[in-house]
A and B are shown apart, each in its own frame.
Chain A
Amino acid sequence: MISRRDFGFRLAGMLAVTGHPAHLADAEESAAKPNTSTANSATTRIEGLSQAEQEEVESRYQNVIRVWGQRLSSEQRERVHRVLVANTRMMQPMRAFQLENGDPPAQVLRVTTDNESAAQGKQAALRDWSE
């Protein structure tokens, strides 16, 4: 898994850690390095990404650099770019899935129906406003 058990280096001959979705690691490891000179690296095609997806990666990369770039070494910037490419690849099947207007997300607001839960909600609201 890219984030939890990123044993990409196993691809270089080290043994695998189990539970690690290798195809996701492959995705990061195979991602192209960033074009650090321009915001749009249209000249360097990243395999498996459409033009629009590649532009999205570069846009997000440039935003990370704009906001957090002074914290990041060149090696870390490369890693950020690889992660962004991998994240976009993971989004592909999500975006390709046909959803209809009424299909709700798995996470929705639950109404509170008992006093105990209501009290918890009230506490949360108070904390939000006092901070």
Chain B
Amino acid sequence: MSDDDVVFLSIRELGTLIRKRQISPVDLAKQYLSRSEKLGPKYNAYVNLTSELALKQARAAEQELASGHDRGPLHGIPYAAKDLVAVPGYPTTWGARPFREQTFDYNATVIEKLNTAGAVLIGKAAMIELAGGLGYTNGFASFTGPARNPWNTQYWTCGSSSGSGAIVAAALAPFTLGSDTRGSILCPASHCGISGLRPSFGRVSRYGAMAIAWTMDKLGPMCRTADDCGLVLSAIAGHDPKDYDSLPQHLAAFSYSESAERPLRIGKITNAWRKVPADLERAVDAALHVLEQHGATVRDVRIPDGAYEEAAELTILIEAASSFQKLIQSGKCAELDDPLGRVNGYPSMEFSANDYLQVQRVRRFLQANVDKLFDEFDVLTAAAQDGAASPLHEPQQKTPTPPRPRRDLRPTPTPEPDGVSSLCGLPAISVPCGFNDKKLPYGIVFMGRALQDQQVIAAAHLFQQHTDWHKQRPPDTTLDIKSSSVRVSSGALGE
């Protein structure tokens, strides 16, 4: 097995090699650090590497495992964290120029949990500035530059967990942490051809993570496989009194099981997205056919009409105006890279208290409408996005304003799955299900009832057990290093 084969392995596979002592945590950390140093800049994937910390943690993992102290599936496994979670000793920039020197003297809870699990932090992943909290118009909205998609560097990764998506796709780390307020894990996962899980709201503590919108922010794993997402979620879920919205322990805790509790009842959303390319529709249908062949039942379902997008967007705008109040009032928002981000806080501060409460009162009905669907279905599914990645363009100086008035004032009849599930705090996972004619990945999303994270992971895992889209590799991700730092005997995984 070559080095390049090793770095594209899943967490579970790497764990097997580590426990068979066919690979060492220190060598593994070095290999991913080396790739991240050399390939990371090509994708603008990182803000910083945490090499010193990584090697320290890897050595500790190696010693513990050698002495028989096994902390579980993440022990000795390298990862990167979106640069909005606090890690002492390194800047936590929130991807934004005004915060590029910002530091914290404590770990975010999610980092503490990964430390406890023995994972090895190798870097802070690049991201859209403020995770898009004050808005952005293009993928260049980051002080580290646009994250470039490993499948084609002329294309964007999507955001806001942009670096996190690129890192996993290019095998610079086996998993990353992302954050998702409205689709910021699901979209990069889809466009980068990886598996990204946005857990149920309140399941993973956000203490020590930048806030955009307190009622919508979630942290979650981005991995090579859905199975890996389950392993990571098991490590990072749980009650945290430091996060006001953290669920009680009996609800927040997550214990991953590889299989579904019963044959899955899947609802195919018939009114998702305004328009989806024909080949993406075919890819989703083919994916559902695979699931049907393996015991799942699939029926059409329609998301009830409702102003989901409007409610999600308004919630985020209003809460972000408060969470970034200091930045807006100080005028430092003018230092942001994106022209919309520089001004968007001002109009958002004009919303009234009544506006906010109105939205939050309507939100409960939208939530109830969607929840009811899960009386009949375990998971709902659709194309994860309405297409593949978009090309990166230099920002335009002035946005053209074509005359295209919106005449229909009814709520959109084609809700977007990531908007619906974000607004309602539901778990959702995006996994790759095909490619377009430019060899850019397509994704399929599974969303479930609140706290049914197990079901969405099980659906995606079942799909991946019988397909190999998640095993595809982007081009030009081979590291040309003569001196191999990872030595693995062939057949180590029993292949």
Contact = CB atoms under 8 A, between A and B. Distances in A.
Given A76-B343, A105-B364, A16 B387 contact: yes
B361 A80 contact: no
Contacts of B355: 91, 94
Tell me whether chain B's interface is mostly helix, strand or loop, or mixed. Answer: loop
B187 interface: yes
Interface string B297-329: 000000000010111011011001000000000
Given A3-B135, A18-B387, A79-B339, A94 B401 contact: no
A77 B137 CA distance: 17
Interface string B377-405: 00000000111111101001011111111
Interface in A70-113: 71-72, 75-76, 79-80, 82-84, 87, 89-95, 97, 99, 103-107, 110
B36 to A, nearest CB: 26
Interface of B: 132, 134-139, 156, 158-160, 181-184, 186-187, 190-191, 215, 241-242, 244, 274, 307, 309-311, 313-314, 316-317, 320, 331, 334, 339-340, 342-344, 346-351, 355, 357-365, 367, 385-391, 393, 396, 398-407, 409-412, 416, 418-419
Contact of B314 (A8, A19, A21, A91): A91
A47 B405 contact: yes
Contact of B241 (A14, A47, A117): A117
A1 interface: yes
B310 A90 contact: yes
A90 B307 CA distance: 8
A87 to B, nearest CB: 6
14 contacts: A11-B404, A16-B386, A16-B387, A17-B158, A18-B390, A24-B309, A29-B399, A29-B401, A84-B347, A99-B362, A103-B361, A105-B363, A106-B361, A114-B241
B361 A4 contact: no
Nearest to B212: A4
Contacts of B402: 11-12, 29
Contacts of A10: 390
Given A29-B399, A93-B411, A103-B364, 20 more contacts: A1-B182, A3-B316, A3-B317, A4-B135, A4-B136, A4-B182, A8-B399, A11-B404, A18-B390, A19-B158, A19-B418, A24-B313, A29-B401, A80-B346, A83-B343, A93-B409, A94-B362, A105-B357, A106-B363, A120-B242
Contacts of B350: 60, 63-64, 84, 87
A80 B385 contact: no
Contact of A19 (B334, B342, B396, B416): B416
Contacts of B136: 3-6
A123 to B, nearest CB: 9
Given A5-B132, A6-B340, A18 B191 contact: yes
B405 A90 contact: no
Nearest to B389: A18
